[in-house]
């Protein structure tokens, strides 16, 4: 059938089919990811029926990879990375070398040259970032020690992949049995390290100052849309520049863009703003992997495929062994999360085939092993969980560091003021004059410090979340003032508060008539429409 190459068709078919098959997978008690992969196989070039443009899907998937890695970087401070360097640097180097050697062994079996086997092995030694991140995020392990090791391990693999990609072209003649061009090799290496160093310095010096202050500026304009745009521009812009100007992989560039922002108080908001887009595009990543897969290889090359897949699993085993030797507690989870291959393997395979240092027959094997390993990854997690339930649960994960714990109030008969801005600030001041007990909920930047300095009891966080609202003891409160300007969030707060205490008097703030109706319908006793009150105050002046 004819290939659909319009962007809109790729999005409609890619996302639509992923949605349908993801739902089916969920109903069958399988991870939705399996459905996304199957959607890719279905619209790929190797199966009959609808076909969508592979190149376009890959490009869209790349957006997902960028946003995903950006999000990971936001959670990850340079200190986190440094804290695991003693494990991940030697570990990842040794593991890639071990899998490379296994590749040499397999190459010997396939009657390839040693160099071809080595490149084959290296292709099988690098895990897919997207799969690792999904696995860690699904199990809430991103902030745990093991999560940090897995991410650090990936970063080292990623950097080594960049190096391999750089040294392959000058080394190719030697690998093919000719003479090595040492000068070209030294030049390529020097050039790469130079570019990496410039990228690092630029990110550190300019990125750490210019980008956070630009985001602060935008945050203070109060436009959510502009802030969202700013976050997207930073993530995509840095990743693109990293890849095209500095030769750093696009995923690593996005990771660094996130990491330099991780120290900024705005990072949490940046992460939330990029979330919805990130999830949609990450789905396309799995669709694009599925599209590359030719199911025929399962029948035509079953043994070779089994050997390739076994090497990928052996890589996971090597990680487990290395972590064990290095004294890391409960290493199975990190090993399982890294026991699969994806985007980096495809890139390396393409470059290797192009240079003639990897036989063309290796490519379908690598793609086949990739899809099998991604497919079976959730199963491996389940097996690991059955063997050692404590290892896969997140009960060892320390709570995220950045957010202070929410301490429930001991106040009773108190007023709760949500928002300590222009409106809430005045209400709080008045309550203080009255000597009435009260509590403020505020999630703005620097609010906790201001409220502590003013000696006001407060809870820091978004009042629309259950954890924050529950801590305010609404059951025994006297009154609730929802003094925030955003009616959607205010509606959520009113609704939850009404459920928590049906008798609680709730006063809310609105700016449009429709918002008044909305908030009243959700349970507010009195909704004050700011603009109406301003108008009436202005009229009173003219009458005076
Ligand atoms: P203003 O419009 O000047 O009265 O400011 C509103 C205040 O409410 C700001 O300080 C915001 O940080 C705060 N705010 C907005 N939404 C929420 C929320 N969902 N939870 C807690 N505080 C909020």
Ligand 1 atom with minimal separation from the 490 CA? 19
Farthest CA pair distance, the chain: 99
Concatenated DSSP letters for 380-422? HHHHHHHH-HHHHSGGGSPPPSSSPPPPPP---S-EEEE--SH
CA of residue 270 to ligand 1 center, whole Å = 17
3-state secondary structure 502-516: CCCCEEEEECCHHHH
CA of residue 419 to ligand 1 center, whole Å = 4
For residue 106, what pLDDT is reported? 96
Ligand 1 atom with minimal separation from the 425 CA? 4
For residue 400, what pLDDT is reported? 41
Say how many C-beta atoms besides its own lie within 10 A of residue 363's C-beta: 19
Average pLDDT over residues 89-98: 96
Q: For the chain, first and last CA: distance in Å?
A: 79
For ligand 1, atom 18, name the residue with the nearest CA: 462
CA of residue 462 to ligand 1 center, whole Å = 9
Task: Count Cα atoms within 13 angstroms, Cβ side, for 289.
Answer: 34
242 pLDDT band, cuts 50/70/90, is: confident
Residue position matching structure tokens 């309550």: 431
Do residues 40 and 286 make contact, with C-beta atoms less than 8 angstroms apart? yes
DSSP class of 475: G
Average pLDDT over residues 78-100: 91
CA of residue 262 to ligand 1 center, whole Å = 23
Per-residue pLDDT reduced to its tens digit, 324-364: 999 888 889 899 999 999 888 988 898 899 889 999 999 89
d(CA 370, CA 349): 12
pTM above 0.75, yes or no: no
Residue position matching structure tokens 């201001």: 450
Probe residue for ligand 1, chosen from 443, 447, 515, 534 as the CB with the greatest number of ligand atoms within 8 Å: 443
For residue 4, what pLDDT is reported? 67
Find out whether the beta carbon of 460 lies less than 6 Å from any atom of ligand 1: no
CA of residue 442 to ligand 1 center, whole Å = 6
**Of 102, 129, 66, the residue nearest 289 (C-alpha):** 129
For ligand 1, atom 16, name the residue with the nearest CA: 484
Find out whether the beta carbon of 273 lies less than 6 Å from any atom of ligand 1: no
For ligand 1, atom 8, name the residue with the nearest CA: 419
Contacts 24+ apart (CB under 8 A), 220-227: 224/273, 227/269, 227/273
- Domains in the chain, ordered, with CATH? 3-385 (1.20.1530.20), 415-543 (3.40.50.720)
Say how many C-beta atoms besides its own lie within 10 A of residue 401's C-beta: 9
Residue position matching structure tokens 């009255």: 434
Average pLDDT over residues 451-468: 91
Per-residue pLDDT reduced to its tens digit, 130-150: 888 878 877 767 777 888 899
Do residues 15 and 283 make contact, with C-beta atoms less than 8 angstroms apart? yes
Q: Which of 161-170, 205-214, 426-435 ranks highest by mean pLDDT?
A: 426-435
**Of 163, 129, 442, the residue nearest 258 (C-alpha):** 129
Per-residue pLDDT reduced to its tens digit, 30-43: 778 889 989 999 99
pLDDT at 523 over 60: yes
Show the tokens assigned to 366. 């690598």
């Amino acid at each position: 059938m004819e290939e659909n190459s319009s962007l809109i068709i790729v999005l409609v078919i890619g996302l639509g089919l992923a949605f349908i098959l993801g739902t089916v997978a969920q109903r069958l008690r399988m991870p939705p990811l399996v459905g996304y992969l199957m959607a890719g196989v279905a619209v790929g070039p190797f199966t009959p029926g609808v076909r969508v443009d592979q190149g376009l899907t890959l490009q869209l998937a790349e957006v997902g990879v960028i946003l995903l890695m950006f999000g990971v970087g936001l959670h990850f401070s340079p200190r986190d990375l440094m804290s695991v360097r003693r494990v991940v640097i030697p570990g990842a180097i040794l593991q890639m070398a071990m899998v490379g050697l296994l590749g040499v062994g397999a190459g010997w079996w396939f009657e390839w040259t040693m160099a071809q086997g080595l490149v084959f092995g290296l292709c099988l030694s690098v895990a897919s970032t997207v799969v690792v991140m999904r696995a860690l995020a699904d199990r809430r392990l991103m902030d745990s020690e093991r999560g940090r090791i897995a991410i650090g391990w990936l970063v080292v693999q990623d950097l080594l992949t960049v190096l391999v990609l750089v040294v392959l072209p000058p080394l190719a003649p030697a690998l093919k049995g000719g003479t090595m061009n040492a000068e070209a090799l030294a030049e390529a290496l020097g050039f790469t390290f130079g570019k990496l160093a410039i990228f690092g310095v630029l990110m550190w010096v300019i990125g750490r100052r210019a980008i956070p202050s630009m985001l602060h500026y935008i945050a203070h304009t109060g436009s959510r849309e502009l802030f969202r745009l700013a976050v997207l521009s930073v993530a995509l812009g840095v990743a693109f520049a990293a890849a095209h100007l500095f030769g750093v992989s696009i995923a690593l560039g996005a990771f660094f863009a996130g990491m330099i922002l991780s120290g900024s108080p705005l990072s949490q908001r940046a992460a939330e703003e990029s979330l919805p887009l990130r999830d949609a595009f990450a789905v396309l990543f799995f669709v694009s992997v599925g599209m590359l897969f030719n199911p025929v290889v399962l029948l035509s090359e079953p043994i070779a495929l089994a050997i390739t897949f076994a090497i990928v699993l052996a890589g996971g085993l090597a990680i487990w062994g290395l972590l064990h030797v290095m004294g890391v507690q409960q290493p199975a989870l990190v090993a399982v999360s890294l026991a699969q291959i994806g985007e980096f393997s495809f890139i390396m395979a393409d470059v290797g085939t192009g240079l003639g240092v990897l036989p063309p027959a290796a490519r379908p094997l690598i793609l086949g092993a990739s899809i099998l390993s991604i497919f079976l990854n959730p199963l491996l997690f389940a097996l690991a969980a059955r063997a050692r339930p404590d290892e896969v649960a997140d009960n060892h994960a320390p709570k995220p560091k950045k957010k202070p714990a929410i301490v429930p109030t001991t106040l009773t008969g108190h007023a709760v003021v949500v928002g300590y801005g222009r409106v809430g600030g005045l209400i709080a001041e008045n309550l203080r004059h009255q000597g009435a007990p009260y509590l403020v909920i505020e999630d703005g930047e620097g609010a906790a410090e201001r409220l502590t300095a003013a000696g006001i009891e407060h809870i820091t966080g978004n009042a629309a979340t259950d954890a924050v609202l529950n801590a305010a003891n609404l059951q025994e409160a006297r009154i609730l003032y929802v003094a925030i300007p955003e009616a959607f969030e205010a509606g959520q707060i009113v609704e939850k508060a009404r459920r928590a205490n049906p008798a609680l008097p709730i006063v809310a703030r609105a700016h449009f008539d429709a918002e008044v109706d909305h908030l009243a319908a959700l349970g507010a006793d009195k909704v004050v429409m700011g603009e109406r009150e301003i108008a009436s105050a202005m009229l009173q002046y003219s009458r005076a």
